[in-house]
Amino acid sequence: MGSIAEILSTKVTTKAVSRVAAATSRILTLFQMNPGGANERSQGYRRFGYDIFNDARSVAIARAPGATSGTVRRQAVGRVDGTFPRVAEKLPLLLEELHNFRRIGGQMAEFDNGGQEFIRRQQRFMGQRVANFRLLSLGGMMRGKMYAHRTDSGDDIYYDFTSTSALHTVDWQIPAGNLSQLDMLGAGSIIGTSWDNPVADIPGDLLQIDKAFQVLCGSRLEFAVCGSTMWNNIINNDYVISQAGTSNTAFEIIQREDGVSENGMPRTTMLGRLRAVPWLTWHITNEGLDVGTQASTTYTPFVGDNNVWFGPQPNPDYMEMLLGSEPVSEGPNLPATERFGMHAYNVNTYDPAGYVLHTLDNALPALYVPKATAYGTCVF
């Protein structure tokens, strides 16, 4: 077991918080947008900007031999600009309390050596909060919008999916047709029958969504995210069952993780595939967050019980977690260093003696091809 100084070093603290944040949400790791994930991109500074660019579906111009080259119009490029949301929290730890803590899970007279186990648990707690904010912003990207609200204290800002009294809106510019019942091509809603109705043609709807993505942007449907209530509706659907063959189960589980993750919570990941639609991978999750002010929160599922997110396999051609940056001084009279994305450090204090654990994060998902995703209301 390391010393208190080692446990509280910036390198060790950042690694511990980042590791917990990576393990907290399976959704974040699936999208590879967790701290240290493969789908992060450092952009820096307080403001962000990225271009929206759809793949080409038009055909190159044919020209007669010897003729000059044909002139084509440039592909339209959209633009999204904004300010990175900023997470910045600190947690005071007094040495007097750490010195006298009983070891968590130990006997009454068994003291924790300098509160080391307690400190590790607080690092885990802070890492989970950072991961939860990234998960919230990823949920906003999948839904198309996220709203910022200012609390009565003035400096505190919280985000949710409710527009009422919003300070500002983070808009990923998903077309209106790619929301609600998915009138993606302007020819009427694809989700014409609620999916809790056993006679809804769910395989047919999925084929139409796949076609719409190809028409809109040259992408395809590869990945869907829903809750267990929606998954239960799907696997009990008449079309799904009949097309799988009545002698077979309607679905197969291709991944189910058991055991405990690094954040101490049980792994409950489930990936599924319908035998009627074998080319589409489903992620079934009941993850949710307590969203709102510290004094008043509301549990909000990552994906609504009546909703499904549809899109391509997460990759940097379609979406990335952009990282902002800010100058950070890790103690009195220490020079400031530019830190990107998630960073954690500790500052020694005196009178009374102690430490202050700091975490910060400047990050926001970028959706480069908004037409390639859809957030459908499938039960209504």
CATH of the domain at 14: 3.90.1690
Is residue 146 situated within a structural domain? yes
Domain of 108, in residue numbers = 4-52+78-377
Is residue 73 situated within a structural domain? no
* Per-residue pLDDT band at 126 (split at 50, 70, 90): confident
Is residue 61 situated within a structural domain? no
pLDDT (mean) for 159-188: 93
Is residue 67 situated within a structural domain? no
Better pLDDT: 267 or 315: 315
Q: What's the pLDDT tens digit per position in 239-285? A: 999 999 877 888 887 776 554 444 455 555 688 999 999 999 999 98
pLDDT (mean) for 299-305: 90
- The region of weakest confidence among 62-66, 75-79, 344-348 is 75-79
Check pLDDT > 70 for residue 2.
no
Is residue 326 situated within a structural domain? yes
How high is the pLDDT of residue 245? 83
How high is the pLDDT of residue 306? 97
Mean pLDDT of all residues in the chain?
Answer: 84
How high is the pLDDT of residue 218? 87
Check pLDDT > 60 for residue 72.
yes
How high is the pLDDT of residue 308? 98
pLDDT (mean) for 359-366: 94
Check pLDDT > 80 for residue 299.
yes
Q: What's the pLDDT tens digit per position in 321-335? A: 999 999 999 888 899
- The region of weakest confidence among 67-76, 115-124, 289-298 is 67-76
How high is the pLDDT of residue 332? 86
Is residue 109 situated within a structural domain? yes
pLDDT (mean) for 288-303: 84
HEC letters along the chain: CCCHHHHCCHHHHHHHHHHHHHHHCHHHHHCCCCCCCCCEEECCCCEEEEEEECCCCCCCCCCCCCCCCCCCCCCCEEEEEEECCEEEEEEEEEHHHHHCCECCCCCCCCECHHHHHHHHHHHHHHHHHHHHHHHHHHHHHHHCEEEEEECCCCCCEEEECCCCCCCEEEECCCCHHHEECCCCCCCCCCCCCCCCCCCCCHHHHHHHHHHHHHHHHCCCCCEEEECHHHHHHHHCCHHHHHHHCCCCCCEEEEEECCCECCCCCECCCEEEEECCEEEEEEEECCCEEEEECCCCEEEEECCCCCEEEEECCCCCCCEEEEECEEEECCCCCCCCEEEECCEEEEEEECCCCEEEEEEEEEEEEEECCHHHCEEEECCC
Is residue 71 situated within a structural domain? no
Please give the tally of structural domains in the chain: 1
Is residue 62 situated within a structural domain? no
pLDDT (mean) for 96-120: 62
pLDDT (mean) for 4-26: 68
How high is the pLDDT of residue 8? 66
